[in-house]
Amino acid sequence: MAKVLVVGGAGYVGSAAARYFEDHGHEVWILDDLSTGHLSFVQDRERWFEADCGDLDVVEPFLKSQRFDGVFHFAAKSLVAESVAHPELYRESNVHKMERLLEACARAGISRFIFSSTCAVYGDPGDAPITEKTPFKPMSPYGETKRDAEALLEKFVARGISSIALRYFNASGAESKYRVGELHEPESHLIPNVIRAALGARPVSVFGDDYPTSDGTCVRDYIHVSDLAEAHWLAFEKLLGAEAPFFDAVNLGSGTGYSVREIVTAIEKAIGGSIETVICPRRPGDPPKLVADTSYARAFLGFQPKRGLDTIVRSALAWEHQRLQPKRAVFLDRDGTINQDPGYLNDHEALVLLPRVIDALKKLRNAGYLFFVVSNQSGIGRGRITRDQIRRIHGRLDQMLQDEGLRIESYALCFHHPDEKCECRKPEPKLILDLARRYGISLADSAMVGDKLSDVDAGLNAGCGTVALLLSGNDSNDQLIQIGDRKDVPVFKDLDDWATAQVRFESSP
Ligand SMILES: [Zn+2]
């Protein structure tokens, strides 16, 4: 068994890899800043560290305290169009942060590093399959940052770090248990977009049908995310067996190319219906054909993908169905609802759960509810709390709940000052609506509960079927005065008082 850190483990490929490593008996920790990842993808909150991987002051002590056998780096920005619009943002995120992460690894004595790179480093290589010797000609700032990040790995060999850069072709599909899957916002990848369009009976945009390919649409090499995960572990085993520090790079693809039209046809077959396509202009930076030469992956790693296009499409479809299957949720305010409200809670050691909160959450979980925290954290806007303190508080809460077999799927927070005009501060419904869309929550079957009238009104504005005002907060008298003679605000003593009534109501004939 190895103990490893997965940086970016709340994202698409990173979370699938983390699950794969865990399933094979390894101790897996996840570090992610949740800028594009999802807390709901982090299953074990005891081995979870929310941080920016480029924050040396935070990451170095963490690495020193944990003594990992190796680090897998999946945390990068990966939207080509965004990289064209914001090249400096991409340089900071994908190159400078990685350099600081490598520095932290070197100082902590970590000598093994697996890096998610990309075939975008090669640019447009023409018709032939791409080998690791194909010259670098990145066509986007994104591809340039990956090239430069690989150069950093070569540099850190002298500091004792062995590394392998894995140049992915198109990661796709979902892991077999559907615990995690593709969930980008915005979604820029073909397969999920075709599936979503088909499920929503909308046409699919095809960007260019005049490329020099068999049917005029772009040809790409799709590799299943669980095959990618296996390849990462095989690469890590190479590092475990290294006698001296080295750097190497390996293409990860299937060796087979499929055109956009062929993908659409495969999804039509899986869905059993036809999908309308609309031809749009070519996108800048899209080469006609990108297909991997897989011989080095086979020779060096002993890696051969096991899952073909059928499995990719079927698993992606199953994941999307599951994601959109209507679920019910309780949206919870935090301070005064779950924990005591000291005004501005800024010390995770001072987090104290309110009485019977665990009992209440267990009843609701057994009734099939997911939990989300929806919280106004204006202390950030007022400069009285830092984001790092908020992370620690949520880490502490996650641990307290995990001990009881409970978990918060995700935290949705407004950080704005109350005087700022923002769209997310309760009673605005935006935070709830965003969660509902992302997680397939049926709002009519869901509830918003909190100790402030603004919580209740956010729930009503979002269309929650149930709302409740709890008198467990600091200024319950004031809230009761504000309610006046409103009839749409059910009042309960505390979370357990409401949960008991709610569950009893639902189970009554
Ligand atoms: Zn806000």
Q: Is the pLDDT of residue 43 over 90?
A: no
First to last CA, the chain: 51
Give CA 423 to chain center in angstroms: 23
- pLDDT in the model for residue 471: 97
What structural domains and CATH numbers belong to the chain?
3-182+222-254+291-305 (3.40.50.720), 326-507 (3.40.50.1000)
Ligand 1 centre and the CA of 430: distance in Å?
A: 9
pLDDT score of 509 more than 80: no
* Under 8 Å between Cβ of 366 and 485: no
Estimate the share of the chain in helix, then strand, then coil, as percent rounded to the nearest 5: 45, 20, 40
pLDDT on residue 387: 87
**pLDDT tens digits for range 326-362:** 899 999 999 999 999 988 888 888 899 999 999 999 9
8 Å CB contact between 331 and 409? no
C-alpha 375 – ligand 1 centre gap (Å): 10
Please give the distance, rounded to the nearest whole angstrom, from the Cα atom of residue 261 to the centre of ligand 1: 42
Q: What is the pLDDT of residues 486-501, one digit of tens each?
A: 999 999 999 999 999 9
- Rounded distance, CA 40 to CA 411, Å? 9
Distance CA 311, CA 326 (A): 24
What's the whole-number mean pLDDT along residues 311-328? 93
Which tens digits make up the pLDDT trace of 242-301? Answer: 999 999 999 999 999 999 999 999 999 999 989 999 999 998 888 999 999 999 999 999
Mean pLDDT of the chain: 94
Q: How far apart are CA 7 and CA 102, in angstroms?
A: 12
Question: Does residue 390 sit in helix, strand or coil?
Answer: helix
Global pTM reads: 0.87
Report how far ligand 1's centroid is from the alpha carbon of 424 (Å). Answer: 4
Give the residue-averaged pLDDT of 132-152: 93
72 phi, psi to nearest 5 deg:
-105, 130
3-state secondary structure of 338: coil
Confidence of residue 80 (pLDDT cuts 50, 70, 90): confident
- Residue 413 CA to ligand 1 centre (angstroms): 8
Residue 294's nearest CA partner among 356, 205, 223 is: 223
Instruction: Decide: 298 and 247 in contact? Cβ < 8 Å.
Output: no
pLDDT tens-digit series, residues 406-433: 999 999 999 999 898 899 999 999 999 9
Distance 476 CA to ligand 1 centre (A): 24
**151-165, 339-353, 426-440, 468-482: the lowest-pLDDT one:** 339-353
**Per-residue pLDDT, 380:** 87
Look at residue 88 and tell me whether its pLDDT is greater than 90: yes
**Ligand 1 mean position to 426 CA, how many Å?**
8
Residue 132 pLDDT: 96
CA of 68 to the centre of ligand 1 (A): 38
Range 89-96 average pLDDT: 93
Confidence band for 155, pLDDT divided at 50, 70 and 90: very high
| pLDDT on residue 84 | 86
pLDDT at 69: 98
Is the pLDDT at 92 greater than 90? The verdict is yes
The torsion angles phi and psi of 4, rounded to 5 degrees, stand at -130, 155
d(CA 377, CA 379): 5
pLDDT value of residue 199: 86
Please report the pLDDT score of residue 72 as a whole number: 98
Q: What is the pLDDT of residues 98-131, one digit of tens each?
A: 999 999 999 999 999 999 999 989 998 888 899 9
330 Cα to the center of ligand 1, angstroms: 20
- Joined tokens for residue 11: 């994202």
Mean pLDDT of 68-81: 92
Compare 114 and 35 and report the one with higher pLDDT: 114
Name every residue whose Cβ is closer than 8 Å to that of residue 498 and which is 6 or more positions away in sequence: 360, 449, 468, 470, 490, 492
pLDDT number for residue 482: 93
- Report in angstroms the alpha-carbon separations of 52 from 55, 96, 147, 390: 5, 12, 22, 14
Residue 191: predicted pLDDT = 95
pLDDT of residue 382: 87
Look at the alpha carbons of 458, 459, 460, 462 in this order and tell me if their dihedral is positive or negative: positive
Averaged pLDDT for residues 5-23: 97
pLDDT value, residue 79: 85
Residue tagged active-site, from 122, 142, 222, 439: 142
Backbone phi, then psi, for 427, in 5-degree steps? Answer: -85, 10
Closest CA to 407 of 42, 22, 27, 28: 42
Inter-residue contact 474 to 495 (CB < 8 Å): no
How far apart (Å, rounded) are the C-alpha atoms in residues 487 and 183?
40
Q: What residue ranges in 288-408 does DSSP mark as E strands?
A: 289-290, 328-332, 369-376
Cα 262 to averaged position of ligand 1 atoms, centre (Å)? 44
Location of structure tokens 């899209």: 286
Predicted confidence band of residue 185 (pLDDT cuts 50, 70, 90): confident
* Residue 256, pLDDT score: 96
SS3 289: strand
8 Å CB contact between 95 and 141: no
3-state secondary structure 136-169: CCCCCHHHHHHHHHHHHHHHHHHHCCEEEEEEEC
* Residue 200 φ/ψ region, left for φ over 0, alpha for ψ in the -120 to 50 degree band, beta for the rest: alpha
Judged against a pLDDT cut of 90, whether residue 323 lies above it is answered with no
Whether residue 296 lies in the annotated active site: no
Q: Can you give the pLDDT at residue 48?
A: 93
Contact of 148 with 95, CB cutoff 8 Å: yes
| Cβ pair 20, 9 in contact under 8 A | no
